[in-house]
């Protein structure tokens, strides 16, 4: 994923105050490995192709386009989607500030999915050919990139598990717990956030109908686990949600 301005009471990025270098970017600790010295960061700065703004609902790239750049999300949210075996659109992930887009194209040289902005967003363009050259001079950056790729593989495996034998309520609990953890890493409230994606998108991602998502929101609310106001979600009992996500607790039927 993502996800990224939660509720207005939480810290938000002051875009006008952000400078253009990686070292000054408020997201650099998420994108870059700890321990890079100033010289290494300056080398990385020099290969950044520039900043690119993407309006909400516009595509950053399309499936079938040649691969040239990776994209680090500077602010905003994206979703990635591709056409599945039966010809339907399948959402494969949601990305937020500090995460990379485009890694699906590294092996084959073309993008296999569309990347669509969920809101007005901005990315850093990283020419991959120049990044590969930099890996030879900055081993720490290469190791960090390998970790990111490993996390992406794990994420895809987790999605496959989601769409497998897990109950609907467990899938949705995992989705909320995942968003909570990602917001916490970015300094936002882990328990109060705004859903940038639609209920239809969430259902598509989790392999559920939009009606199922609405029912789950109502059920979780009646259980006293969450509070919902349009797209604003507050986790009232994060421990119970985590237990449900891990399979340790079942969601009791509403009386």
Q: Could you give the percent of the chain with pLDDT greater than 90?
A: 54
Q: What is the pTM of this model?
A: 0.81
Which pLDDT band, with edges at 50, 70 and 90, does 102 fall under? Answer: very high
Mean pLDDT on 226-231: 94
Q: In whole angstroms, what is the distance from residue 20 CA to residue 108 CA?
A: 31
Q: Stretch 18-27: mean pLDDT, rounded?
A: 58
Mean pLDDT (whole number) for 203-214: 95
Domains of the chain and CATH, by start: 15-162 (2.60.120.10), 168-246 (1.10.10.10)
Angle at 222 between CA 217 and CA 226, to 5 degrees: 55
- Check if the beta carbon of residue 13 is closer than 8 Å to that of residue 75: yes
Q: Could you read off the pLDDT of 118-149 as tens digits, one per residue? A: 999 999 998 999 988 888 888 888 888 888 88
Task: Pull the structure tokens for residue 151.
Answer: 């996390």
**Residues near 150 by beta carbon (within 8 Å), at least 6 away in sequence:** none
7 neighbors 193 (Cβ within 8 angstroms): yes
Q: In what order do the strands lie in the sheet with 69-75?
A: 50-54, 121-127, 69-75, 100-101
Mean pLDDT, all residues of the chain = 83
Q: What is the pLDDT of residue 24?
A: 66
Quote the pLDDT of residue 73: 92
Mean pLDDT computed over 106-119: 95
Give the pLDDT band (50/70/90) at residue 94. very high
Q: Is the per-residue pLDDT at 226 higher than 90?
A: yes
Split at pLDDT 50, 70, 90, the class of 150 is confident
Of 13-22, 98-107, 200-209, highest mean pLDDT: 200-209
């Amino acid at each position: 994923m993502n996800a990224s301005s939660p509720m207005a009471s939480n810290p938000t990025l002051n875009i006008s105050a952000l400078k253009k270098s990686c070292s000054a970017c408020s997201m650099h600790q998420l994108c870059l490995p700890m321990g890079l010295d100033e010289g290494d960061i300056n080398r990385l700065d020099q290969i950044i192709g520039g900043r690119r703004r993407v309006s909400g609902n516009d595509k950053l790239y399309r499936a079938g386009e040649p691969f040239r750049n990776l994209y680090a999300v500077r602010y905003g949210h994206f979703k990635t989607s591709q056409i599945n075996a039966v010809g339907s659109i399948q959402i494969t992930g949601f990305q937020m500030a500090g995460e990379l887009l485009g890694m699906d194209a590294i092996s084959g040289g073309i993008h296999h999915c569309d990347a669509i902005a969920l809101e007005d967003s901005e990315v850093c363009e990283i020419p991959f050919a120049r990044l590969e050259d930099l890996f030879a001079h900055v081993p720490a950056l290469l190791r960090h990139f390998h970790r990111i790729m490993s996390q992406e593989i794990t994420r895809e495996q987790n999605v496959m598990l989601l769409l497998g034998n897990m109950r609907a309520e467990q899938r949705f609990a995992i989705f909320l717990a995942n968003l909570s953890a990602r917001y916490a890493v970015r300094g936002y409230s882990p328990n109060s956030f705004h859903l940038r994606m639609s209920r239809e998108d969430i259902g598509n991602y989790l392999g559920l109908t939009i009606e199922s998502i609405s029912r789950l929101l109502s059920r979780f609310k009646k259980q006293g686990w969450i509070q919902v106001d349009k797209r604003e979600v507050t986790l009232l009992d994060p421990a119970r949600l985590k237990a449900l996500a891990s399979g340790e607790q079942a969601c009791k039927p509403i009386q």
